[in-house]
Amino acid sequence: MKSADLAVVNCKQLLTCRGQIPKRAVALQDVGLLEKACIASYKGKIIFLGEEKKFKEEVRLEEDGTCIDGTGLVALPGFVDSHTHLPFAGTREEEFVLRLKGYSYQDNSESNPSSFQERSPLPLS
């Protein structure tokens, strides 16, 4: 049995983002969804992701551990670095769509130079 110092139990849904990385094209549609799931960690490292039944069989919460009730909630990874740099003109929506389809920056710069061109910084004055 694994010891945990933190557990989130009874999650309606748990998005694990499991699978090969980097994800490309169709693989981006698979968020690794688990229904009625739990997640547990020990000293900051995830030790369990899975169904509630297996959680009860495989994980023991330490006496001073924290248990969060996720009833009716969706648990998902919290770090998403979705940013762009403001010094560049124009939008990058087209690039984003192409990346979701599995194209690399190199692929697109060769086949569609205007799409992935390096943008000039905005004038400072």
pTM for this prediction: 0.61
**Percentage of the chain lying above the pLDDT 90 cut:** 46
Query: Per the domain annotation, does 33 fall within a domain?
Result: yes
Interval 56-103: pLDDT, tens: 999 999 999 999 999 999 998 876 666 666 666 667 778 778 878 888
Query: Per the domain annotation, does 52 fall within a domain?
Result: yes
Structurally, the chain folds into a number of domains equal to 2
The residue whose two tokens read 């309606």 is 12
Query: Per the domain annotation, does 125 fall within a domain?
Result: no
Query: Per the domain annotation, does 100 fall within a domain?
Result: yes
Instruction: For the chain, give the mean pLDDT.
Output: 82
Amino acid identity for residue 33 in this structure: L
Residue 39 CB burial class (10 angstroms; 0-12, 13-18, ≥19): buried
Q: 6 lies in which domain range?
A: 2-75
Q: Are residues 55 and 113 located together in one domain of the fold? A: no
Calpha distance 37→52 (Å, rounded)? 5
Domain of 6, CATH number, reads 2.30.40.10
Q: Are residues 53 and 94 located together in one domain of the fold? A: no
Alpha carbon dihedral 18, 23, 27, 30, in 10-degree steps, equals 30
Calpha distance 64→67 (Å, rounded)? 10
Per-residue confidence (pLDDT) for residue 87, from 0 to 100: 61
Query: Per the domain annotation, does 9 fall within a domain?
Result: yes
Query: Per the domain annotation, does 123 fall within a domain?
Result: no
**Percentage of the chain lying above the pLDDT 70 cut:** 74
Mean pLDDT (whole number) for 4-12: 97
